[in-house]
Amino acid sequence: MSNTEVQDDAINVDTEKGNFSYPEDYAYDAGVGLSEDTIRYISDVKKEDQWVREFRQRALEIFHKKDMPTNWATKDLENIHFDKIRYYLSKGQQPSRTWDEVPDDVKETFERLGIPEQERKFLAGVEAQFDSEAAYSHMKEELEKEGVIFVGSSEGLEKYPEIFRPYFGKVIPSTDNKFAALNSATFSGGSFIYVPKGVKLKQPLQAYFRINAENFGQFERTLIIADEDSEITYMEGCTAPKFETATLHSAVVELVALKNAKIQYITVQNWSSNVFNLVTKRGMADEGAEVKWIDCNIGSRLTMKYPGVVLKGRGARGEVLSIALANDGQHQDTGAKMIHLADDTTSNIISKSISIGEGRSTYRGQVHMPKHLKNCKNNTECDALLINTHSRTDTYPAITTRGQNNTVQHEASVSKVSAEQIFYMMQRGLSEGEAMSLAVNGFVHELLKAFPMEYSVELKRLIDMEMEGSVG
């Protein structure tokens, strides 16, 4: 196929590649189940300030009070047993600054996932999280000199409270939803980033999240603040081995783009197929700022994730580009939220999903334009591709429009790869599987172009792999 020549350069991450684990050997373990004591243990290990301790305890109360959102979401959520999960596991508190200092098994893990290699090739900085804490964190020196901060959540709150505390939990309050509350109570790891005024990062920063332990919940917390006129691209990847029991990943990601800043957040989610991936992501865009989510969901058993942008300042722009691939036993329940709160704001949502075998992909969207606004625009396109007879797709957008000269446009379509297209390609000598892969790659082609080269090559290959065995 046409992309074979570039495949050698591709990042070698795929479901099987990630399917390995090392024996457990943790210095810190909060035990099984969730209580005030669990939360206190985490705070003690992290030696947290009183306000952080209170923040966690309040969030725990909210978590207990809130119902599971099964009035609209899948009943599969009821299969999460919060009392059987381990909420904090780590080998140590301080991430290493060089790969040589990282413990051997952890280092090997990330080497097998190709992270150090990527860092050398095209990244401005990397943080690699192993279960609850980062094992490695390093950023290019010149960025440090420019005042860029790239640390873990605990370090961020402890060392730079004046920068991070004003925004922490503000874009996504603990009350936002049950899983945001859970994260707020148990958070550990993740990235806290500050880009000073006018600083434009040429290369992306990357975080890699790895779950190694069984019956474990990973709750990283990310907060990115791009000060006026700054620019940053952040990428995250994730994998876990395939265990017998379900694993939970529930992150909260808050982005703050101040005046004229640009944040681009790229996710390639490739959790193993027993991970519940329930993530809350939202950005706030000030005057003239831009927040762009590029979201690719390939793995997990159930993903529920609706990246949002609160368009708070005049002329702000928000964008969500997403690709979801649901194979047998998977439910990709993804979407986008655009909340327009100022004049002249624009938002764009493009969502492409592919359902294979008995896979199910769902799009949920919310677009909100209240009455006092003028000249706002939203455009939404949702396209679903169904591969097999039992594949399923749903689309549930909710759009509210008032005000003057605001326009909202939503279009969705469902299609399949036609037998004629396959026949045509097979007549040219491709196998049925290759033809199918080519057609699917064509379906997502326009969106793949939005990803950095290295990622789009990897994605193409992942899609090819998922398509194997889907025909016949």
Partner 1 sequence: MNTLSENTMNNPAKTAAEPGWLAERRAEGLAQFKTLPAPAPNDELWRFASVGRLKIDDYAPTGAPDAATAEALLERSNLVSERAGRSVYVDDHAVCFEGISEALKAQGVLYLPIEAALQSHPELMERYFLKESTELGSAKFFGLHAASTRAGSVLYVPKGVEIEQPLVNYYWTSTQGTAVFPHTLIIAEANAKASVVDVFFSETKENEALNIAVSNLHAADGAQVFRKVVQDWNEQTTSFQLDTTIAGRDARVKNLAVNIGAERARYENQTRIEGPGANVKMYSLTVAEEKQEFDQRTFQTHNAPNAVSDLLYKNALLDNSRTIFSGLIKVAEGAQQTDAYQTNRNLLLDPTAEANALPGLEILANDVRCSHGATTGNLDADELFYMMQRGIPRRAAMQLMVFGFFEEVIEKVDSEELAENLRQLIHKKFDAKIA
Cα–Cα distances in angstroms (integers) from residue 282 to residues 55, 233, 256, 465, in the given order: 19, 15, 9, 31
Binding residue (CB under 8 A) for partner 1 from 40, 392, 452, 471: 392
Residue (of 163, 219, 210, 301) closest to 46 by Cα position: 219
Residue 235 makes contact with partner 1 by CB under 8 A: no
Which residues, in sequence order, are CB contacts of 280 under 8 Å at separation 6+? 172, 176, 177, 179, 180, 183, 251, 252, 253, 305
Nearer to partner 1, 58 or 392 (CB): 392
Residues forming beta bridges with residue 144, ordered by sequence position? none
3-state secondary structure 136-202: EEEECHHHHHCCCEEECHHHHHHHCHHHHCCCCCCCCCCCCCHHHHHHHHHCCCCCEEEECCCCECC
Binding residue (CB under 8 A) for partner 1 from 65, 97, 121, 402: 402
Residue 10 makes contact with partner 1 by CB under 8 A: no
Residue 389 makes contact with partner 1 by CB under 8 A: yes
Q: What element of type H or E holds 309?
A: strand 308-311
> Least separation, in Å, of the C-beta of 72 and partner 1?
5
Distance CA 428, CA 186 (A): 55
Residue 441 CA, chain-centre distance (Å), reads 21
Pick the piece of the chain touching partner 1 (CB under 8 A) from 88-96, 188-196, 339-347, 390-398. Answer: 390-398
> Least separation, in Å, of the C-beta of 396 and partner 1?
5
Binding residue (CB under 8 A) for partner 1 from 40, 58, 112, 410: 410
> Least separation, in Å, of the C-beta of 391 and partner 1?
5
SS3 content of the chain, % helix, strand, coil (to 5): 25, 35, 40
Strands 302-305 and 275-285: parallel
Give per-residue burial for 395-419: e unless 16+ CB within 10 Å, then b: bebeeebeeeebebebeeeeeebee
> Least separation, in Å, of the C-beta of 376 and partner 1?
11
Residue (of 124, 286, 257, 259) closest to 194 by Cα position: 257
Residue 65 makes contact with partner 1 by CB under 8 A: no
Pick the piece of the chain touching partner 1 (CB under 8 A) from 74-82, 109-117, 235-243, 400-408. Answer: 400-408
C-beta separation of 234 from 201 below 8 A: no
Residue 471 makes contact with partner 1 by CB under 8 A: no
Q: How many CA atoms lie within 13 A of 404 on its CB side?
A: 3
Pick the piece of the chain touching partner 1 (CB under 8 A) from 121-129, 239-247, 380-388, 430-438. Answer: 380-388
**What binding mask, one character per residue, do residues 357-376 give for partner 1 by CB under 8 A, x or -?**
--------------xx----
Residue 148 makes contact with partner 1 by CB under 8 A: no
Residue 120 makes contact with partner 1 by CB under 8 A: no
Size of the site for partner 1 (CB under 8 A): 36
Nearer to partner 1, 273 or 388 (CB): 388
Binding residue (CB under 8 A) for partner 1 from 218, 230, 393, 456: 393
Residue 435, φ and ψ in degrees, nearest 5: -60, -45
Nearer to partner 1, 89 or 311 (CB): 311
Task: Please tell me whether residue 66 adopts helix, strand or coil conformation.
Answer: coil
> Least separation, in Å, of the C-beta of 212 and partner 1?
37
Residue 327 makes contact with partner 1 by CB under 8 A: no
Nearer to partner 1, 124 or 408 (CB): 408
Q: Which DSSP category does 4 fall into?
A: H
The footprint of partner 1 on residues 68-97 (CB under 8 A) is 71-72
> Least separation, in Å, of the C-beta of 78 and partner 1?
18
Residues forming beta bridges with residue 377, ordered by sequence position? 346, 407
* Single-letter residue type at 380: T
Residue 433 makes contact with partner 1 by CB under 8 A: no
Nearer to partner 1, 245 or 400 (CB): 400
Residue 414 makes contact with partner 1 by CB under 8 A: yes
Binding residue (CB under 8 A) for partner 1 from 100, 141, 411, 420: 411
Residue 175 makes contact with partner 1 by CB under 8 A: no
Residue 405 makes contact with partner 1 by CB under 8 A: yes
Residue 125 makes contact with partner 1 by CB under 8 A: no
**The CA-based dihedral angle spanning residues 33, 39, 41, 45, taken in that order and rounded to the nearest 10 degrees:** 130
> Least separation, in Å, of the C-beta of 398 and partner 1?
5
Binding residue (CB under 8 A) for partner 1 from 49, 394, 450, 452: 394
The two tokens of residue 370 are 């209240």
Binding residue (CB under 8 A) for partner 1 from 415, 423, 442, 449: 415
Contact set with partner 1 (CB under 8 A): 71-72, 371-372, 384, 386-416
